[in-house]
């Protein structure tokens, strides 16, 4: 069965510091990986997906199949990045069935 692991419940960084939110997954096939974000009092929304290979709000994530990881990175944290971040996985044919990690709360302080 597929599983997504986010080892950190809380990550606290200073403004301007680099950010790395860790995500590891277990799945034997070819998964599709996502990062979702939930800002305070807002709905869960897609931040980025691995197939797009794009940078959103300065965040990037690279799928490393060898290490089964999909870590989210940003070189310089901003206050507005403070939010709950969820890594999620789906597999071919079940794009709407997401397996989520437990989430990491990112706290950016001055």
Is residue 93 within the footprint of other proteins (CB under 8 A)?
Answer: yes
When binding is defined by CB under 8 A, the residue of 31, 33, 101, 108 that contacts other proteins is 101
Shortest separation between residue 40's beta carbon and other proteins, angstroms: 13
Task: Answer for the pair 105, 12: CB distance below 8 angstroms, yes or no.
Answer: no
Q: Which residues of 23-41 are buried (b: 16+ CB within 10 A; e: fewer)?
A: bbbebeeebbbbbbbbeee
**If DSSP codes are grouped into helix, strand and coil, which group holds residue 110?**
coil
When binding is defined by CB under 8 A, the residue of 12, 102, 107, 109 that contacts other proteins is 102
Size of interface with other proteins, in residues (CB under 8 A): 22
- For residues 71 and 99, which CB has a smaller minimum distance to other proteins in the complex? 99
Is residue 26 within the footprint of other proteins (CB under 8 A)?
Answer: no
Residues in contact with other proteins by the rule CB under 8 A: 32, 43-46, 49, 51-52, 86, 88, 92-103
């Amino acid at each position: 069965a597929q599983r997504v692991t986010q080892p950190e419940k809380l990550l606290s960084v200073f403004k301007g510091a680099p950010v790395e939110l860790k995500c590891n997954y277990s799945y034997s096939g070819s998964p599709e990986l996502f990062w979702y974000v939930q800002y305070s009092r807002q709905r869960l929304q897609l931040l980025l997906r691995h197939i797009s290979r794009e940078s959103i709000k300065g965040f990037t994530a690279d799928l490393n199949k060898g290490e089964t990881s999909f870590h989210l990175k940003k070189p310089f944290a901003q206050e507005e990045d403070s939010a709950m971040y969820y890594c999620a996985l789906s597999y071919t044919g079940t794009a709407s069935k997401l397996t989520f990690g437990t989430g990491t709360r990112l706290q950016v302080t001055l």
